[in-house]
Amino acid sequence: MKLQKITPFLWFNYEAAEAAIFYTSVFKNSQIITTGPMVTVFELEGLQVMAINGGPHYKLTEAFSFYISCDTQEEIDYYWEKLLEGGGQESRCGWLKDRFGLSWQVIPSVLPELMNTPEKAQRIVQAFQHIIKFNIQELKNL
């Protein structure tokens, strides 16, 4: 197994393999590459990720997140629902934390374009205070 040059490395207490199974069930183009008692390597949409059962010394935080670019509202709804399964928590501005504590940003792919439109950017930034899960049509209507 050859890893990509730069690989995200996630520290779990003891549930690295369980998390990998969950993530590969959410993303269609994914697979578990290898799993063992300490380390599991998996791939999500072409991105290899390494996960370790490292014990309780460190916890995942919002300082690291995966950003999911979604082309449709159906995609946003799908990832939002799936990643919250089993005890995840919603946050603001398209962020959520899954049941393992990993943070995700579920973001419409049109958002960067809308943010580069001066007349819309200011309204969108103001709306961020109230947005939990993004709604593409609502963003376009701002």
pLDDT for res 49:
98
Do 109 and 86 belong to one domain?
A: yes
Residue 39 belongs to a domain with what CATH number? 3.10.180.10
Q: Number of structural domains, the chain? A: 2
Asked if residue 45 and residue 29 are part of one domain, the reply reads: yes
Tell me: do 89 and 110 sit in the same domain: yes
CA distances for 130 relative to 60, 99, 127, angstroms: 25, 23, 6
- Same domain for 126 and 90? yes
Of 22, 40, 42, nearest to 31 by C-alpha is: 42
Coil, helix or strand at residue 132: coil
Residues 54 and 87 in one domain: no
Q: CA 100, 26, 70, 42 torsion: positive or negative? A: positive
Rounded to 5 degrees, φ, ψ at 97 are -120, 130
> Last residue of a domain, which of 58, 75, 99?
58
pTM summary value = 0.93
Q: Which of 24, 40, 58 is the last residue of a domain?
A: 58
9 and 64, same domain (yes or no): no
3-class secondary structure, 68: strand
66 is in which domain, residue-wise? 60-142
Cα–Cα distance, 17 to 106 (Å, whole number): 23
The tens-digit pLDDT sequence of the chain (142 residues) is 788 999 999 999 999 999 999 999 999 999 999 999 999 999 999 999 999 999 999 999 999 999 999 999 999 999 999 999 999 999 999 999 999 999 999 999 999 998 898 878 888 888 888 899 999 999 988 8
